[in-house]
Amino acid sequence: MKAMIVAGALALPAFGEGPLDLAKVRATDPVALGWMAGMPVPPQKQIRFDDGSFYRFPQWRWTFSHWRELRPTIAVPRGAGPVRPLPSALRQDLDAVTFVPTGGTAPVTWADSLIANYTDGIVVLHRGRIVYERYLGALVGDQPHVAFSVTKSFVGTLAAMLVGEGKLDRGAAVTRYLPELAGSGFDATVAQVLDMTTALDYVENYTGESKTTNAYRYATGFMPRPADHSGPKAIYAFLPTVAKKGTHGEEFHYRTPNVDVAAWLMSRVTGKAPAALLSERIWSRLGAEDDAYLQVDADGTPLMGSSLNARLRDLARFGEMMRRGGEWGGQQVVPSAVVDEIRRGADKKAFVAGGYATLPGWSYHDFWWVSHDDHGVYMARGIHGQAIYIDPKAEMVIARFASHPLAGNVNIDPLSLPAYRAIAERLMAQPK
Amino acid sequence: MKAMIVAGALALPAFGEGPLDLAKVRATDPVALGWMAGMPVPPQKQIRFDDGSFYRFPQWRWTFSHWRELRPTIAVPRGAGPVRPLPSALRQDLDAVTFVPTGGTAPVTWADSLIANYTDGIVVLHRGRIVYERYLGALVGDQPHVAFSVTKSFVGTLAAMLVGEGKLDRGAAVTRYLPELAGSGFDATVAQVLDMTTALDYVENYTGESKTTNAYRYATGFMPRPADHSGPKAIYAFLPTVAKKGTHGEEFHYRTPNVDVAAWLMSRVTGKAPAALLSERIWSRLGAEDDAYLQVDADGTPLMGSSLNARLRDLARFGEMMRRGGEWGGQQVVPSAVVDEIRRGADKKAFVAGGYATLPGWSYHDFWWVSHDDHGVYMARGIHGQAIYIDPKAEMVIARFASHPLAGNVNIDPLSLPAYRAIAERLMAQPK
C-alpha cells in the first residue's frame, strides 16, 4: 500500500537518528485521554460516527476496540464447542531483543518498537505456545478489536477452499456466477479478483480525495454519507457501478471491492450468507474464545473487505491453524492443498507493476501477502497495523492489533517487519 | 399498559366467537415473506432503520430477531465459565392443554394460542427442566431476540441488590446521587423511581402521538430523528429535560425514563457502566449459552429500558434463578432477601390509581409486575409479548419472545395469562 497520511503532520521517528519518541505515542493513549468516558460523556470527549470523529486520530485509538458500539453488526458465531486453549510458555527475554528498523542504523528493542508502532495488542506463538502477549491502549485481551483488511485473508481462504471443492472455477468469468456484474469492470476471471489484478476505474485512497473510494465507503456505510448523497447505498448496489480501466491480469492494485465480489461469489455458489459461511467453515472450528463480528451494510451484507472484529488470541488461532497446514485440534479445517496454494503466491511481476516497490519480491494471492522470503513468510495485513504474520520456518505466528496514526503499512513496516524477523530468529536460536 | 394500536386495523380474533384465525397470523411469517432475503435484497423486501420500516408490522417479525444488524450495540459478556445445561424433560401433552381466553367463552389449545399470539419462541421450565420449547417466525433457538421491557426487570433486580448492599438508599432523593437531575421531574426518591410512581410530564405512547415519548426515542436512538430534530441526542442529555407533573408516590405510571434514571444511579454508585455491571452481577453467573447485548445511544449508554437481546433459554435461566430464590449452580447470584422484596410487590392502590384496571390486584415493584395471586406469580413483561413468567407455587418458569402486531400487553394477555395458568395447573396436577 502506498503511504497515505491521514492524520496531518504526524511525522514518524526518523529511524537511526535517535531514540524512538515513546512519549509522543503515550500521549495518545485512549484510556488516559478519557475518550467516551463519563456519565454523561463531556462534549470534548465524545466520539461519533455521524460527524466522522470515530475515524480521526487519536480518537480511533478508542474506536478500533469499540466498533460495534458505533455501527450495525452481525455475529460470526464461535459455535457451541469448547475453547481450544493456547498453552502458555511466556518468555521474558523477548522484550530486549533488538533489531535495526528498515532504513535506520540504530538498533531498537522489541518492547520499545511495540509502543512506537501504536500496538494495541500482540500475541506471539512459537510451536503453538504463547511466548509473548501484551495489550496496550484501549484493548484488553478478552475484548474484540477491528482487524480491517486482515478480514480479506479470511475471504481468500474461504474462496480457495471453494475452488478446491470445485464450487468456484478460478478460470471462469465472474459474470458466470454473478450476471448482475455484466457490463461492469468485473468482466474478469475469478482468479483475477482473488489476486486483485482486475483493471478497475477505482483508486483506493483513505484521505477522502478519491471519489471512487468515497462512493464505496458511502455505499457500505463505512463512512457517514453527505446530505446530498445520491449514489448506491448498499454493497451489491455499488459493485455493478465500478467501471473498467485498463487490462485485467497485468497489474496488482489493492482495491477492496474485489473482496466484496469474492464474498458475493461465495454466497452465490453456496447459498449461504458470508457471516454464516465464515462461521461454519472456519470460525466455529477454531475453538475460538468468542464470536467474531462484522459490520453490515443496509441490506445486512457484511463488509468482508475490512470489518472483522475479533479477539486477538482468536486471530492467532486462525494463524496457527494455517501454519499447521490447515490442521487444528485433530481436524482438517482448511485442506493442506489450499494452504499450499496460498503460500505459493502469485505473479511477482504484477506486484511490481502495480508499484508495490516497498515490499520487494512479494506477491498477493487469494487476498494474502506472500513474502517469498527464505522463511516462507506470508501475512494477512490491515491498515493501521493489523497483522497475522506466519513464519513457517520459525514455527512462529504473530497476531497484532494496532491503531497507528497512518493508514498505510508502508509507514508501519519499517518497525514491524524487521521486528518480527528478529523475534523469529531468537526463537529459532533459543527454542524453549 | 394501555392498548395502543400501532399497526392499523389489525383486529384480534374475537375470543369466544369462533376459532382463532391462525391463517392470518401465518400470512405474516417473516421467513415466508422473505424479508431481507436475497443478494441483493429486492427493494420491496428491504427493512431499514432510517425510514422507520424496521418498526412496522409485519416487518418487525424479522427485526426483533436481528436487532444488532440495524443498530449500534454493546455486549453483555457471558464470561468464560461453562454453560449450565437446562435438562430436558419434554412433554407431548402440553400442546393439547385447553383454556378459555380472558373475555372469551370457547376453549382454545395451548398450541393454537402460541400461533395466534405471534409467538417467536417459548420455553417452559418445570422444576428446572425444559418441558416445552418451540420456535416460530424468524427465531431459532441459538439466536438472540429483543426482550424489550423485560430488560427493565434486570435493572430493577440489580438496583434492589445495590439497595440490599447499602449502596443505594430507597428513601434518598435521586438528586443525592445525581445532582445532574436537580430541577427536573426526578426530584423524587429512589423508591419512587423503582416503582414508577414518579409524577412526570411524560406520556408513554408508541404511536408517535406523544411528544415526550418521541423526544425520548430520538434522544436514545430508538427511532430515526427527523431532519429538523434539535432536542437531546443522548439518554443522559434527555433525562434532565423531563419535567414534573403532579405529586410523586401516588400513582403508578409506566414511563420508561425511570429505568434510565435507575441505571444511571447504579452506574454512579458502582462506577461501572450498565453492560459491565449486568454482566458481572448476573449474566456471567447464569451459565448462559451466549452473550446478551444492548443497544447503545451516541454516548455508548445502553438503553436499559428496552434493548436487551438474548437467547430465550438464557432468559429462562435468569427466571429459574429467581424462582430458586436467587440460587443457581451452587452460588447465590441474587440474595434471597432481594427476591423476597421483589415478590412482595408494591402499593396496589397506586397501581389502580394509574388506570391499570386490566391487571386487577397487581402491583409494580422494582420494575417487576407482581400479580399477588394465589400462585405468587410475578413477571417481566415487554411490548409485543415478551415475557418471563415465574410461578413459584407451580415451580414453573416461562420465557417467551413474540412479535405481536399490537404494542400493548393488554391485547396479548387475554391469550397468554390464562394459557400460562393452564400449563401451571397441568404441571401441578401431572408432574412428570
Rounded Cα–Cα distance for residues A313 and A290 (Å): 10
Looking at beta carbons, which residues of chain A come within 8 Å of B73?
68-69, 73
Rounded Cα–Cα distance for residues A5 and A57 (Å): 11
Q: What whole-number percentage of chain A has pLDDT above 70?
A: 96
Task: Using a CB–CB cutoff of 8 Å, tell me whether B352 touches chain A.
Answer: no
Rounded Cα–Cα distance for residues B295 and B307 (Å): 6
Number of domains in chain B: 1
Task: Using a CB–CB cutoff of 8 Å, tell me whether A67 touches chain B.
Answer: no
Residue B168 has pLDDT above 60, yes or no: yes
Q: Name the residue in chain A with its Cα closest to that of B300.
A: A69
Residue A231 located in a structural domain: no
Residue B399 located in a structural domain: yes
Mean pLDDT of B181-195: 98
Rounded Cα–Cα distance for residues B16 and B3 (Å): 20
Do the Cβ atoms of A294 and A252 come closer than 8 Å? no
| pLDDT given at position B181 | 98
Is there a catalytic annotation at residue B149? yes
Crossing angle (nearest 10°) for helices B274-281 and B257-270: 80
Q: Number of CB pairs < 8 Å for A and B?
A: 78
Residue A15 located in a structural domain: no
Mean pLDDT of A70-94: 97
Residue B390 located in a structural domain: yes
Residue B8 has pLDDT above 50, yes or no: no
Residue B246 located in a structural domain: no
Residue A117 has pLDDT above 90, yes or no: yes
Cell digits for A238? 455499488
Residue B13 located in a structural domain: no
For chain A, what is the mean pLDDT?
Answer: 94
Looking at beta carbons, which residues of chain B come within 8 Å of A67?
none
Is the Cβ pair B72, A75 closer than 8 Å?
A: no
Cell digits for A152? 480479506
Residue A51 has pLDDT above 70, yes or no: yes
Task: Using a CB–CB cutoff of 8 Å, tell me whether A327 touches chain B.
Answer: no
Task: Using a CB–CB cutoff of 8 Å, tell me whether B265 touches chain A.
Answer: no
Residue A3 has pLDDT above 80, yes or no: no
Residue B142: band (very low, low, confident or very high) from pLDDT cuts 50, 70, 90: confident
For chain B, what is the mean pLDDT?
Answer: 94
How do residues B64-97 score in pLDDT, each as one tens digit?
999 999 999 999 999 999 999 999 999 999 999 9
Q: What are the residue numbers of the active site of A?
A: 149
| pLDDT given at position A1 | 33
Residue A339 located in a structural domain: yes
Angle formed at CA A103 by CA A100 and CA A106, multiple of 5 degrees: 35
Could you tell me the pTM of the whole model? 0.95
Q: For residue A42, how many other CB atoms are within 10 A of its CB?
A: 10
Residue B310 has pLDDT above 80, yes or no: yes
The dihedral over CA atoms of B224, B229, B235, B236, expressed in degrees to the nearest 10, equals: 160
Residue A62 has pLDDT above 80, yes or no: yes
Residue B139 has pLDDT above 90, yes or no: no
Catalytic one of B65, B113, B149, B416? B149
How do residues A384-430 score in pLDDT, each as one tens digit?
999 999 999 999 999 999 999 998 888 899 999 999 999 999 999 98
Is the Cβ pair A40, B69 closer than 8 Å?
A: no
How do residues A209-225 score in pLDDT, each as one tens digit?
999 999 999 999 999 99
Residue A105 belongs to domain spanning: 22-167+259-429
| pLDDT given at position B146 | 98
Task: Using a CB–CB cutoff of 8 Å, tell me whether A307 touches chain B.
Answer: no
Cell digits for A340? 499450499
Is the Cβ pair A264, B39 closer than 8 Å?
A: yes
Cell digits for B401? 419472545
Cell digits for A182? 455484466
| pLDDT given at position B5 | 34
Q: What CATH number is given to the structural domain containing A78?
A: 3.40.710.10
Residue with cell 482487524: A147
Please give the span between the terminal C-alpha atoms of chain B, in angstroms, as a whole number: 36
Q: Name the residue in chain A with its Cα closest to that of B43.
A: A299
Residue B233 located in a structural domain: no
Mean pLDDT of B194-204: 98
| pLDDT given at position B355 | 84
Residue B393 has pLDDT above 90, yes or no: yes
Helices and strands counted in chain A (H then E): 15, 15
How do residues B10-51 score in pLDDT, each as one tens digit?
444 445 556 789 999 999 999 999 999 998 999 999 999 999
Is the Cβ pair B69, A72 closer than 8 Å?
A: yes
Residue with cell 392498548: B3
Q: Which residues of B175-209 are buried (b: 16+ CB within 10 A; e: fewer)?
A: eebbebbeebbbbbbbbbbbbbbbbbebebbbeee
Residue A8 has pLDDT above 90, yes or no: no
| pLDDT given at position A141 | 79
- Cβ neighbors of A130 (< 8 A, separation 6 or more) are A86, A87, A88, A89, A90, A123, A124, A313, A316
| pLDDT given at position A14 | 47
Looking at beta carbons, which residues of chain A come within 8 Å of B300?
36, 41, 66, 69
Is the Cβ pair B236, A69 closer than 8 Å?
A: no
* Pick from B378, B303, B344: nearest CA to B152: B303
How do residues A127-165 score in pLDDT, each as one tens digit?
999 999 999 988 887 899 999 999 999 999 999 999 999
